[in-house]
């Protein structure tokens, strides 16, 4: 049985040529992808550096950088499709159609995006503020397109949907120059409340970072079978809240604890 070796060689040469062309095409696409990603990261860094140099708010800078990153990644995907010969005009129409379908199915995602825009425009808080919102308390790390990153006091990074934040109450503890620390002191029976009030006021004045205006408040809060209960309320900046909180507890224990 005879084989036509010339035909086999021709087929092998044609297959090798096609594989070489496809390999070069894939290699070119990989180069385009990695160069594109590098340029996107470079543009992101340059945008942040430029805006921060102009002393724009960190919240706005982060939001604009996220928007630019998403836009440039879409441009990169379209460029890759065009490189492989896919009609990008048809792709754009398909993308728009898919956008409508996805928007209808994922209306919550669009609601989160819209809420993110309003958070940036209305500015109920900014990056670095200590807030309570969406049942989460912590420091705002980033306001993104669809969600906000909050670091809780126990150092847990928590993602909260923007729509939940915008539709919920927002407490911003960093918006004012000071906040009040709420503590209570249970006096033993027979202890003079007025003398105790004076001792606590004097002691609160020695605690670091307690502000003098408004002055610390110590008043009779309640009466119980165990004795008089005093409300102890020093004021401090939010950054020093827990230090003043614990120092106030230590003061109460030192003044009225067992000897």
Residue that terminates a domain, selected from 77, 105, 133: 105
Per-residue model confidence as pLDDT tens digits over 85-125: 666 565 666 666 665 655 554 566 678 888 888 888 888 99
Residue 24 covered by a domain: yes
Residue 141 has pLDDT above 90, yes or no: yes
CA distances (Å), origin 49, targets 52, 64, 180, 195: 5, 12, 37, 58
Total domain count, the chain:
3
CA distances (Å), origin 214, targets 25, 211, 236, 244: 71, 7, 9, 15
Per-residue model confidence as pLDDT tens digits over 148-185: 999 999 999 999 999 999 889 999 999 999 999 999 99
- Which of 14-28, 63-77, 96-110, 130-144 is the least confident region? 96-110
Residue 197 covered by a domain: yes
Same domain, 136 and 185: no
Per-residue model confidence as pLDDT tens digits over 28-54: 778 888 888 888 888 888 877 776 666
Average confidence (pLDDT) over 190-209: 93
Alpha-carbon distance 157 to 140, whole Å? 10
Same domain, 148 and 198: no
Same domain, 60 and 128: no
Domain holding 57, by residue range, is: 20-105
Same domain, 87 and 143: no
Residue 141 covered by a domain: yes
**For residues 241 and 57, which has the higher predicted lDDT (pLDDT)?**
241
Predicted confidence at residue 238, as pLDDT, reads: 92
Same domain, 191 and 160: no
Alpha-carbon distance 250 to 141, whole Å? 32
């Amino acid at each position: 049985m005879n084989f036509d070796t010339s035909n086999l060689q021709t087929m092998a040469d044609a297959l090798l040529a096609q594989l070489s062309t496809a390999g070069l095409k894939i290699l070119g696409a990989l180069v385009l992808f990695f160069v594109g990603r590098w340029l996107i990261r470079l543009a992101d860094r340059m945008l942040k550096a430029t805006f921060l140099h102009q002393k724009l708010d960190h919240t706005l800078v982060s939001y604009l950088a996220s928007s630019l990153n998403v836009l440039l990644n879409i441009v990169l995907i379209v460029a890759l499709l065009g490189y492989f010969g896919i009609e990008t005009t048809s792709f754009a129409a398909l993308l728009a159609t898919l956008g409508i379908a996805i928007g209808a199915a994922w209306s919550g995602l669009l609601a989160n995006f819209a809420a993110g825009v309003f958070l940036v425009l209305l500015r109920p808080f900014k990056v670095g503020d200590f807030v309570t919102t969406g049942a989460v308390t912590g420091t705002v790390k980033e306001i993104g397109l669809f969600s906000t990153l909050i670091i809780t006091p126990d150092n847990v990074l928590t993602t909260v949907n923007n729509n939940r934040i915008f539709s919920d109450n927002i407490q911003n503890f960093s918006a004012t120059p000071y906040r009040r620390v709420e503590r209570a002191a249970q006096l033993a029976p027979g202890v003079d409340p007025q003398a105790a009030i004076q001792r606590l006021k004097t002691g609160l004045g020695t605690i670091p970072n307690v502000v003098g205006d408004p002055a610390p408040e110590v008043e009779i809060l309640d009466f119980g079978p165990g004795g008089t209960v005093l409300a102890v309320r020093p004021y401090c900046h939010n950054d020093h809240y827990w230090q003043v909180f614990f120092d106030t507890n230590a003061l109460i224990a030192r003044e009225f604890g067992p000897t």
